[in-house]
């Protein structure tokens, strides 16, 4: 009988696993997909929100593509329980699916601040496609949008909200914006940049409750005056979708604990993406990296291993980039490592900031801010990632970069980072092209 793979979750990790199984397997297996939503890319929802792409563009696989891949689908259904003794998954409609091996890639969900009125009308999350539709329908030109939370997810849609002609106020309970992406100095620069571009920012601002007042929202703040809003977006964090596994035998910490092959404590059950707690490339310890590139790499590694290959994963690297009003903001690796040696620099003539973090003569993390029209910002983003990823020993270049933190390229080239990086592949072979995309072009 053909081997039976069960993929739970149709996001980035799940879809990459399915594609990789079909690329790698020696004998045709059966694949079953259980997905609460039609497969789409969360990364591109901001571009759907600003109407630069149609809804059809967000999908990563249509029903026809899934049929071409030979996938049996349970779309619109959620996994409700996993019996790892019987190798049986029960869905929320009572149906059951038997498997030989299984991938849990159920991702995470948006969480709202626990205040009265947070679930009321006019208050939105921006995480799923359905929620994106809700925000798009709510924002009218000239309306006032209040964004509660100033993390990465909030920042991915700032440009879109402004492009729709709304006025924007950001309130953040922490003392600074982007508290889990950049440091104090970077956050100050970004906040000034936003204010110069007409965005109001209130940090250290605690929301008490949200009331309705004449069809608008009134945000009661602990201090500094209340706010009136037409639309409230709660970007106050995400939580892994682990609840349905509470009666299973799978070991869970912050996420599902996985080994270097992305197997959970139950060997024929894998986990990938936001829900997996796997190796961090820099620290070597386990962590949840709820970012798109980790979901993609996890998914491919799991797909290859499910197809019978033996692919060891080197660990994931935290990388984040967001552009706000033509300012690029990026961070990598252990950018907040308090024990690292740090060096930083700013440019007087433009909004540009660098911070480099070191262990010995190896770069372990970086923060980079700069105008997106500045080619060196984009190129250095890549080369800094390459230096962190390859862990190339930079020797005397460290002293040079201390004086000249913007002079990345000569160090990258002269220390032969390219030689270190060229042999590296995730699956131990050249990647294949993504193939036919479901996007209507």
As measured in angstroms, the least distance from the Cβ of 400 to other proteins is: 4
As measured in angstroms, the least distance from the Cβ of 266 to other proteins is: 28
248 vs 331, beta carbon nearer other proteins: 331
According to the binding rule CB under 8 A, does residue 362 interact with other proteins?
A: no
How many Cβ atoms sit within 10 Å of the Cβ of residue 429? 12
Taking CB under 8 A as the criterion, which residues in 20-59 touch other proteins? 41-44, 46-47, 52-53, 57-58
Query: Residues with Cβ < 8 Å from 428, sequence gap 6 or more?
Result: 309, 311
Whose CA is closest to 112, among 130, 122, 125, 121? 125
Q: What DSSP assignment string belongs to 387-433?
A: HHHHT---TTHHHHHHH-TT-HHHHHHHTTHHHHHTT--SSSSPPPP
Interface region with other proteins, contact rule CB under 8 A, candidates 119-127, 133-141, 295-303, 349-357: 295-303
According to the binding rule CB under 8 A, does residue 437 interact with other proteins?
A: yes
DSSP H stretches of helix in 272-340: 292-306
Interface region with other proteins, contact rule CB under 8 A, candidates 231-239, 250-258, 293-301, 346-354: 293-301
Could you say which of 73, 248, 296, 316 contacts other proteins (CB under 8 A)?
Answer: 296
User: How far, CA to CA in Å, does 62 sit from each of 10, 38, 58, 169, 239?
Assistant: 11, 8, 10, 37, 27
C-beta of residue 4 within 8 angstroms of C-beta of residue 46: no
The 307-326 contact track toward other proteins, x by CB under 8 A, reads: ------------xxx-x--x
Could you say which of 122, 134, 237, 293 contacts other proteins (CB under 8 A)?
Answer: 293
As measured in angstroms, the least distance from the Cβ of 353 to other proteins is: 16
Could you say which of 197, 218, 362, 400 contacts other proteins (CB under 8 A)?
Answer: 400
221 vs 421, beta carbon nearer other proteins: 421
The tokens of 309 are what? 């290959």
Could you say which of 56, 96, 192, 431 contacts other proteins (CB under 8 A)?
Answer: 431
According to the binding rule CB under 8 A, does residue 410 interact with other proteins?
A: yes
According to the binding rule CB under 8 A, does residue 146 interact with other proteins?
A: no
Could you say which of 67, 95, 249, 375 contacts other proteins (CB under 8 A)?
Answer: 375
Query: Maximum distance among all alpha carbons in the chain?
Result: 68
Where do we find the tokens 């490339």? 281
Please, is 300 exposed, middle or buried when counting C-beta atoms within 10 Å of its C-beta (0-12, 13-18, 19+)?
Answer: buried
Q: In what order do the strands lie in the sheet with 286-288?
A: 256-257, 276-279, 286-288
C-beta of residue 81 within 8 angstroms of C-beta of residue 248: yes
Could you say which of 183, 230, 277, 328 contacts other proteins (CB under 8 A)?
Answer: 328
Whose CA is closest to 328, among 132, 236, 193, 185? 193
Q: How many chain residues touch other proteins (CB under 8 A)? A: 70
* Contacts with other proteins, residue ranges (CB under 8 A): 12, 41-44, 46-47, 52-53, 57-58, 60, 292-293, 296-297, 300, 319-321, 323, 326, 328, 330, 332, 372-373, 375, 378-383, 385-386, 389-390, 396-397, 399-400, 402-403, 408-410, 412-419, 421-422, 424-426, 429-435, 437, 439, 441
């Amino acid at each position: 009988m053909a081997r039976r793979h069960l993929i739970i979750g149709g996001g980035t990790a799940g879809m990459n696993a399915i594609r990789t199984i079909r690329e790698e397997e020696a004998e045709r297996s059966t694949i079953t997909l259980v997905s609460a939503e039609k497969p789409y890319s969360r990364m591109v929802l901001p571009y759907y929100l600003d109407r630069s792409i149609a809804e059809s563009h967000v999908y990563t696989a249509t029903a026809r593509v899934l049929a071409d891949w030979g996938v049996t689908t349970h779309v619109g259904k959620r996994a409700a329980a996993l019996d790892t003794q019987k190798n049986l998954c029960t869905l929320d409609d009572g149906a059951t699916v038997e498997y030989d091996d299984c991938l849990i890639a159920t991702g995470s969900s948006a969480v709202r601040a626990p205040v009265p009125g947070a679930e009321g009308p006019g208050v939105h999350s921006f995480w799923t496609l359905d929620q994106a539709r809700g925000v798009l329908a709510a924002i009218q030109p000239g309306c006032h949008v209040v964004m509660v939370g100033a993390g990465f997810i909030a920042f991915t849609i700032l440009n879109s909200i402004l492009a729709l002609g709304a006025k924007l106020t950001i309130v953040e309970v922490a003392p600074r914006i982007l508290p889990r992406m950049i440091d104090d100095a970077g956050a100050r620069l970004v906040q000034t940049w936003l204010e110069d571009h007409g965005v109001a920012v209130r940090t250290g601002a605690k929301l008490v409750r949200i009331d309705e007042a004449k069809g608008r929202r009134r945000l009661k703040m602990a201090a500094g005056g209340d706010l009136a809003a037409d639309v409230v977006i709660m970007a106050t964090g995400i939580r892994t979708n682990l609840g349905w596994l509470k009666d299973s035998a799978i070991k869970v910490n912050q996420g599902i604990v996985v080994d270097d092959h992305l197997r959970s404590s139950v060997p024929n059950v894998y986990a990938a993406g936001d829900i997996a707690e796997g190796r961090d490339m820099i620290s070597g310890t386990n962590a949840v990296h709820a970012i798109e590139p980790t979901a993609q790499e996890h998914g491919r590694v799991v797909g290859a291993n499910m197809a019978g290959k033996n692919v060891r994963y080197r660990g994931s690297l935290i990388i984040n980039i967001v552009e706000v009003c033509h300012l690029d903001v990026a961070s990598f690796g252990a950018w907040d490592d308090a024990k690292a040696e740090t060096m930083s620099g700013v440019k007087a003539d433009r909004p540009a900031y660098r911070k480099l973090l070191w262990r010995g003569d190896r770069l372990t993390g970086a923060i980079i801010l700069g105008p997106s029209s500045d080619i060196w910002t984009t190129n250095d983003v890549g080369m800094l990632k390459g230096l962190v990823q390859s862990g190339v020993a930079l020797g005397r270049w460290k002293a040079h970069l201390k004086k000249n933190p913007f002079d990345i390229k000569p160090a990258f080239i002269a220390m032969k980072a390219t030689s270190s990086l060229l042999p590296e592949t995730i699956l131990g072979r050249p990647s294949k092209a993504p193939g036919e995309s479901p996007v209507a072009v």
